[in-house]
Amino acid sequence: MDWDKLVQLLVNGLTLGSVYALVALGFSMVYGILKLLNLAHGDVLMVGAFIGWGILGWLGGAQDPSVAVWLLIGLMVLGAMVGCGFLGVAIERFAYRPLRRAPRIAPLISALGVSFFLQNSVLLLFGANFRSYETFDLVDVEVGIHWGPLNVWAIRIMVVVAAVAMMLGLWLLVTRTRLGKAMRATAFDREAAAMMGIDVDRVIVKTFFIGSALAGAAGVLVGLVFGQINHFMGFNYGLKGFTAAVVGGIGSIPGAMFGGLFIGLAEALSVGYIEDFTRGRLGSAFKDLVVFLILVLFMLLRPQGIFGRPEVKKV
**Site residues (vs other proteins, CB under 8 A):** 5, 8-9, 12-13, 15-16, 35, 37, 39, 104-105, 108-109, 112, 123, 127-130, 132, 136, 141, 146, 151, 153, 222, 225-228, 230-233, 236, 246, 250, 267-268, 271-272, 283-285, 287-288, 299, 303-304, 311
85 vs 219 by CB, closer to other proteins: 219
85 vs 259 by CB, closer to other proteins: 259
Work out how close the CB of 311 gets to other proteins at its nearest, in angstroms, rounded to a whole number.
6
Helices 253-277 and 3-34 pack at an angle, to 10 degrees, of 140
CB under 8 Å to 257, separation ≥6 — which residues? 21, 24, 25, 167, 248
CB 256 within 8 A of CB 18: no
24 vs 89 by CB, closer to other proteins: 24
Q: DSSP of 108-131, one letter per residue? A: HHHHHHHHHHHHHHHHHHH-SS-E
Work out how close the CB of 310 gets to other proteins at its nearest, in angstroms, rounded to a whole number.
10
How many CB atoms lie under 10 A from the CB of residue 94? Answer: 11
Work out how close the CB of 127 gets to other proteins at its nearest, in angstroms, rounded to a whole number.
8
44 vs 246 by CB, closer to other proteins: 246
Work out how close the CB of 291 gets to other proteins at its nearest, in angstroms, rounded to a whole number.
12
Work out how close the CB of 87 gets to other proteins at its nearest, in angstroms, rounded to a whole number.
21
Helix, strand, coil share (%) of the chain residues, nearest 5? 75, 5, 20
How many CB atoms lie under 10 A from the CB of residue 232? Answer: 13
85 vs 115 by CB, closer to other proteins: 115
* Residues found in the chain: 315
